[in-house]
């Protein structure tokens, strides 16, 4: 599906489950520069579908850090928690066409099912592909368990979804100098992945494609760790009749050991650097030369 836009629309979409680090600063400032250089728009989206881990104080910290770096964005800011109904409609559309099924398995159930099976395939995130435990349940059994209140996730039926495609699935990948190339998508590597969890009403994958369409995002610049996820996102966009942005998967900020910076690895936060006396200009100087934004308050 294509759509005409009057200007390019970029977005930075952090999760408020911790403080921003240099990797976030790189992605945020890159989007800021790309929007500025194309006379486009920059949106800020708070990805807080996981209400148990996301906190308002981290959200306020995101705003504070980005302003300190000299960034500006359009308001109002979209929060995913305000759009659960939109994700539910998307999931209902897929389910009405037989492209999903409820899954009652725990992570332990899955690990036990594939234990002792050397070479069992894993998805791009490193998790075992779902072995289909609940896929073969009868509709009567499914409805009985759901009616009894048994918690269930929702999985895509990948084989059924791929069968609905009418042609090759691809996306437009941008690079330096506004060069673009088409990349063939391969969503099958995700298997029957989750579209919602027992404790979260929508997965990142379904939420992000719905959000990008609702916000009319034309350009998605994000880390190369999400390159493989784009195949799944293109499949969902195709199934839901949503437009496809142009993608740019940028290099990641890494530590001295080559590991990508992350909250889970306790990467030093922007807030900590500020408290140590760093200026915005010094922080930007620690980033890749791809980011050439001059902070307003350096």
Query: The domain that contains 119 carries what CATH number?
Result: 3.40.50.620
Cα 52 to the center of its chain, rounded Å = 18
Tokens of 197: 């969890």
Checking if the pLDDT of 109 tops 90, the result is yes
> Hey, what's the torsion of the CAs at 58, 63, 65, 66, to 10 degrees?
140
Number of domains in the chain: 1
Q: Does residue 50 sit within a domain?
A: yes
Checking if the pLDDT of 199 tops 60, the result is yes
Q: Does residue 260 sit within a domain?
A: yes
Q: Does residue 182 sit within a domain?
A: no
How many CB atoms are located within 10 Å of the residue 190 CB?
22
115: domain range?
A: 9-165+190-204+215-221+253-285
Tokens of 156: 């895509």
Which residues in the chain belong to E strands, given as ranges? 9-12, 41-46, 78-79, 100-103, 153-156, 170-174, 180-184, 194-196, 219-223, 246-250
Mean pLDDT score, 125-143: 96
Q: Does residue 244 sit within a domain?
A: no
Q: Does residue 257 sit within a domain?
A: yes
pTM of the model: 0.91
Checking if the pLDDT of 293 tops 50, the result is no
What's the full length of the chain, in residues? Answer: 298
Measuring CA to CA, which residue among 98, 79, 75, 97 is closest to residue 87? Answer: 79
Mean pLDDT score, 68-82: 96
Q: Does residue 96 sit within a domain?
A: yes
Q: Does residue 237 sit within a domain?
A: no
Q: Does residue 99 sit within a domain?
A: yes
What is the model's pLDDT at position 49? Answer: 95
What is the model's pLDDT at position 268? Answer: 87
Checking if the pLDDT of 180 tops 50, the result is yes
- Please tell me the distance from the alpha carbon of residue 53 to that of residue 193, in angstroms, as a whole number: 22
Checking if the pLDDT of 225 tops 70, the result is yes
Checking if the pLDDT of 77 tops 60, the result is yes
Checking if the pLDDT of 292 tops 70, the result is no
């Amino acid at each position: 599906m294509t759509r005409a836009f009057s200007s390019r629309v970029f977005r930075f979409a952090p999760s408020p489950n911790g403080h921003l680090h240099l990797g976030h600063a790189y992605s945020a400032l890159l989007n800021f520069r790309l929007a500025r250089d194309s006379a486009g728009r920059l949106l800020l989206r708070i990805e807080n579908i996981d209400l148990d881990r996301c906190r308002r104080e981290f959200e306020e910290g995101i705003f504070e850090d980005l302003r300190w770096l000299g960034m500006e964005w359009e308001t109002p800011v979209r929060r995913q928690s305000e759009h659960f109904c939109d994700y539910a409609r998307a999931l209902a559309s897929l389910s009405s066409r037989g492209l999903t099924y409820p899954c009652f398995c725990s992570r332990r159930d899955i690990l036990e099912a594939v234990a002792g099976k050397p070479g069992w395939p894993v998805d791009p995130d490193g998790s075992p592909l779902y072995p289909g435990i609940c896929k073969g349940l009868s509709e009567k059994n499914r409805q009985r368990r759901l009616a009894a209140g048994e918690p269930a996730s929702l999985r895509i039926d990948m084989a059924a979804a791929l069968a609905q495609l009418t042609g090759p699935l691809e996306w437009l990948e941008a690079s330096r100098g506004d060069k673009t190339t088409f990349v063939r998508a391969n969503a099958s590597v995700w298997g029957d992945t989750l579209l919602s969890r027992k404790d979260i009403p929508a997965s990142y994958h379904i939420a992000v494609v719905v959000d990008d369409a609702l916000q009319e995002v034309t350009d998605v610049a994000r880390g190369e760790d999400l390159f493989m996820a784009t195949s799944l996102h293109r499949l969902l966009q195709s199934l839901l009749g949503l437009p496809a942005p142009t993608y740019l998967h940028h290099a990641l900020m890494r530590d001295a050991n080559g590991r990508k910076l992350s909250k889970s690895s306790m990467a030093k936060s922007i807030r900590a650097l500020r408290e140590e006396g760093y200026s915005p200009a010094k922080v930007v100087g620690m980033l890749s030369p791809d980011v050439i934004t001059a902070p307003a308050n350096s």
